[in-house]
Amino acid sequence: MTTPTTTGPQPRDLRDFYENPAVPVASGTPRSLRQARMLARALSGPAAASPQTILDIGCGDGTAAATAAPLLPGHRVIGVDWSQDALRRARTRIPYAVRGELTGGGLPFASGAADAVLFSEVVEHLVDPDAALDEIRRILRPGGHLMLSTPNLAAWYNRGLLLAGVQPVFSEVSLRGIHGRPGKEVVGHLRLYTARALREFVAASGFTVERLEGAPFHGVPRPLRPLDRLACARPQLASILLLHARRT
């Protein structure tokens, strides 16, 4: 069954797709909070006594940055996105939001300018994730923190769906509608990672992986949410992967 989720003209390319206000641009609050707590712990040492610059790259509507800010008092959180529509919404939630791209001309920051980067549910949307991590590494200071989150291809329910011949949750074959998988939203995922693949990819990009945690997914049917929360204890099975790495 096909369930289109967009109305009006169909997107000509990914830029048109992400400028569509109907396309979701925010991660769920529970995983934003988990990610913010991981960063707060990482910034709790003596080296972080002075204010730190934290970039939320791919900030969307600013929800994740606004969720994280109370857990990061004294630090400056700056939202970055290339979607003008997303930035307009972000500026209603956070004091700083600027336009920038990971590819092409690069981000509007000097090398080593950032102490930490939040990279929430972005990497799965990218055509060239290698270039994106190269650019993030450039703008991070040596030892700076990368907090990356992305859906888990090997989530507990996806393992069962694949055995049944069903397209995994989070994967997409079209920008125009849902084909062959559960769900109601087309969100533009191009790449998916398992826990092992994510670790190896980030390490190969010049980072040292410090920690990997799991987080729940808000789209799991309500009767199954307790099981989804239990799966977070084993990141390899969790819905969402939360990775903390440091620039080497």
The tens-digit pLDDT sequence of the chain (248 residues) is 333 333 344 455 666 766 666 666 555 678 889 999 999 999 987 655 689 999 999 999 999 999 999 999 999 999 999 989 999 999 999 999 999 999 878 999 999 999 999 999 999 999 999 999 999 999 999 999 999 999 999 999 999 999 999 999 999 999 999 999 998 889 899 999 999 999 999 999 999 999 999 999 989 999 999 999 999 999 999 999 999 999 99
Amino acid at the residue 144: G
- Residues 6 or more apart in contact with residue 46 via CB below 8 angstroms: none
For the whole model, what pTM was predicted? 0.89
Asked if 201 and 189 count as a contact pair (C-beta separation under 8 A), the reply is no
Q: Provide the strand spans (E) within the chain.
A: 2-4, 53-57, 76-81, 97-99, 114-120, 140-151, 177-179, 207-215, 240-247
pLDDT value for 31: 84
Mapped onto helix, strand or coil, the DSSP state of residue 93 is coil
Q: What is the pLDDT of residue 9?
A: 44
- Strand locations in 158-234 (E): 177-179, 207-215
Specify the pLDDT at position 141: 97
